Amino acid sequence: MNNNMSFNELWRKKVTRIGTIMIPIIMLSMFLPVIYLKVRYGVFPEWSIALSSWGTIAAAFGAYYIIEPLSYYPILGLSGTYMAFTSGSISDIRMPASAVAQEAVGVPYGSDEGAVVSTIGVAGSVFTTLVVVFITAVFGTSIIEIFPEKLLTAVKLYTVPAVFSAVYIQFCKFEPKLSFIIAITTVIFLLLAHIYGLMMITAVIIPVLLARLLYKKGFFGKEDGAEN
């Protein structure tokens, strides 16, 4: 080990090495069911149909390949980003888990300490998800039948807004001056919701550029009286 290498550099180097190895392995493993069907039963779609289907999906969701890593990285951190994008359910489970963990410990988002705490939070959410999914798969129907229809409707309608509202309040606590950017993003969403791809790109790019401009202008980022 290089004695001159800082902990942060060592952390990033090891996380990047593990992540770049595991991501391709996970991507290839997604094709195992298709490979099994081909080998076992000889069932496989025509290449023209498969590529056409992939092109349709890429056209609709290809922007996420760039937008989501840029949007979520400041909160998730490096290792949290690798874990979140391999396990899925990023916006509704991994992001809130990461944010709540950092809030509970009291570390700022984007810091080295925050990256470590985020990793623990995301790992805990993955484990919890596996347990909950297992229980739901086995006993889900019986559990759902217990609850009244009105309660189930309320859960479907208000769970996601409640989660995002809680995360928003946490963000405002660390950087109150940036809270208005969320309002701008919300307006963009309402105006462009019918053009989903454009809405996602615009709702990310404009707030990021605006935040960067304000940071360069000294609008936020340093405590009053802090030295340069």
pLDDT in tens, 123-171: 888 888 888 888 878 887 777 778 888 888 888 788 777 877 777 776 6
pLDDT confidence tier of residue 227, bands split at 50, 70 and 90: very low
pLDDT confidence tier of residue 43, bands split at 50, 70 and 90: confident
3-state secondary structure of 142: helix
pLDDT confidence tier of residue 3, bands split at 50, 70 and 90: low
pLDDT number for residue 163: 74
pLDDT confidence tier of residue 68, bands split at 50, 70 and 90: confident
Residue 226 has pLDDT above 50, yes or no: no
Bigger pLDDT: 165 vs 20: 20
**Helical ranges in the chain per DSSP H:** 7-29, 32-41, 47-61, 64-87, 95-105, 112-146, 149-174, 179-192, 196-216
**Tokens representing residue 213 in the block:** 């401009």
pLDDT number for residue 228: 39
The chain-wide mean pLDDT, for the chain, equals 78
**Tokens representing residue 61 in the block:** 């969701």
Residue 4 has pLDDT above 60, yes or no: no
pLDDT number for residue 223: 46
Please give the share of the chain, as a percent, with pLDDT higher than 90.
0
Residue 205 has pLDDT above 70, yes or no: yes
Handedness of CA 212, 113, 179, 186 (dihedral sign): positive
pLDDT number for residue 174: 63
Rounded-to-integer distance, Cα 121 and Cα 115, Å: 10
Which secondary-structure segment (H or E) carries 4?
none
pLDDT confidence tier of residue 220, bands split at 50, 70 and 90: low
Query: Which amino acid is residue 2, in one-letter code?
Result: N
Least trusted range by pLDDT, from 45-59, 73-87, 112-126: 45-59
pLDDT confidence tier of residue 71, bands split at 50, 70 and 90: confident
C-beta of residue 81 within 8 angstroms of C-beta of residue 88: no
pLDDT number for residue 107: 82
